[in-house]
Chains A and B, each alone.
Chain A
Amino acid sequence: MINELISMSGYGAYVWSAFSFAMIGFTSLFLIIKLDQIKEKKNFASKFSSLNAEKARFVESHIINQEILSITVKV
């Protein structure tokens, strides 16, 4: 059963390489986008920490900024 699933009557190399390519592609793109997202969040947090108190209060008053900072803390 397992051997048949792997060899697929001689077509196994073609079938498994096609599925593997697709799954590797999915994983790679997911990681690229995720790492870019983390980098931008860290960038935002770093810029925010260099602001003076008045500007920081202004930035924090926006809902999106609050959300980015809350996620950045978790990251």
Chain B
Amino acid sequence: MIKFFHPNKIFLITSRAPKYVFFLFIVVLSIGLTEALVLSPEDYKQGHSVRIMYVHVPAAWLSLGIFSTISILSFGIFIFKIKHFSLIAKSLAPSGFLFSIIALVTGSIWGKPTWGTWWAWDARITSMLILSLFYFIYLLSWKIFENKENVIKITSIIAILGLINVPIIKFSVDWWSTLHQASSVKILSKTSIHPSMLTPLIIMTAAFALFSLLIFLMKYNTEMIKNKNKGLDRL
């Protein structure tokens, strides 16, 4: 098990796995797009605009999931002093940021035919915008702070503070009266979405998750090469 987490092994995996993940991503995305745009039925109320759900919802789920993971890793950095977690968190952030932007923009596009407006300052949309800002500040901190010890501390604090926003996003539709609809897909109770719509949603979520894994592997590999470059400077 320890051998599996050896830097040499990790580097080999992050170097060679992306091409297989990329292939799998293209296959799953192709199936997902066919299901989402062609095979799935239109909604009896929203018509074809419901298809936006197949990019909006996976992007929102994954951006929340990735930020929660970054926050948990940041707790690990403070409590267990595992600095390596910062590299994992840093490599996860770019895809999480992109997903939060996709969720906001596609939500805005969906809002126009559904609510008659591109934007509303309601609790769900505003808290999602705050999540994007947390991602942006997190990534910006990695760019602007030079000292490694300081940047790890600062980014970890940002991620931990941002975690407060995660339950607010999740429960905003229950706590406040919002334009945004309540969740249709529930883990603990009965899902109110029809299987003909749930299937493409799950496939698109899998495709988005594979894309996130692909970006994570490539970014992690790049960060390891950057560290090696710094090592060469010290020789």
Verify B38–A37 contact, CB threshold 8 A: no
B141 CB to closest chain A CB (Å) equals 18
A31 CB to closest chain B CB (Å) equals 11
Contacts A36-B222, A64-B228, A67-B11: A9 and B98 contacting too (C-beta < 8 A)?
no
| Chain B residue contacts of A21, Cβ below 8 A | 102, 105-106, 109
| Chain A residue contacts of B154, Cβ below 8 A | none
| B219: interface (CB < 8 Å) | yes
Q: Interface 1/0s, chain A 28-40, versus B by CB < 8 A? A: 0110111011001
Contact with B48, one of A12, A30, A51 (Cβ below 8 angstroms): A12
Verify B229–A44 contact, CB threshold 8 A: yes
Q: Interface 1/0s, chain B 103-117, versus A by CB < 8 A? A: 001100110110000
Verify A34–B218 contact, CB threshold 8 A: yes
Verify A18–B232 contact, CB threshold 8 A: no
| Chain B residue contacts of A36, Cβ below 8 A | 222
Verify B211–A26 contact, CB threshold 8 A: yes
Contact with B102, one of A25, A40, A64 (Cβ below 8 angstroms): A25
Q: Interface 1/0s, chain B 206-235, versus A by CB < 8 A? A: 000001001100110110111011001101
| B161: interface (CB < 8 Å) | no
Verify A33–B105 contact, CB threshold 8 A: no
| Chain A residue contacts of B95, Cβ below 8 A | 29
Besides A12-B48, A22-B59, A25-B101, 18 other CB < 8 A contacts? A9-B47, A10-B47, A11-B48, A11-B113, A14-B109, A22-B106, A25-B102, A30-B215, A33-B94, A33-B219, A44-B225, A44-B228, A44-B232, A47-B229, A48-B232, A59-B235, A67-B12, A68-B228
A interface list, Cβ under 8 A from B: 5, 8-12, 14-15, 17-19, 21-22, 25-26, 29-30, 32-34, 36-37, 40-41, 43-44, 47-48, 51, 55, 58-59, 63-65, 67-68, 71
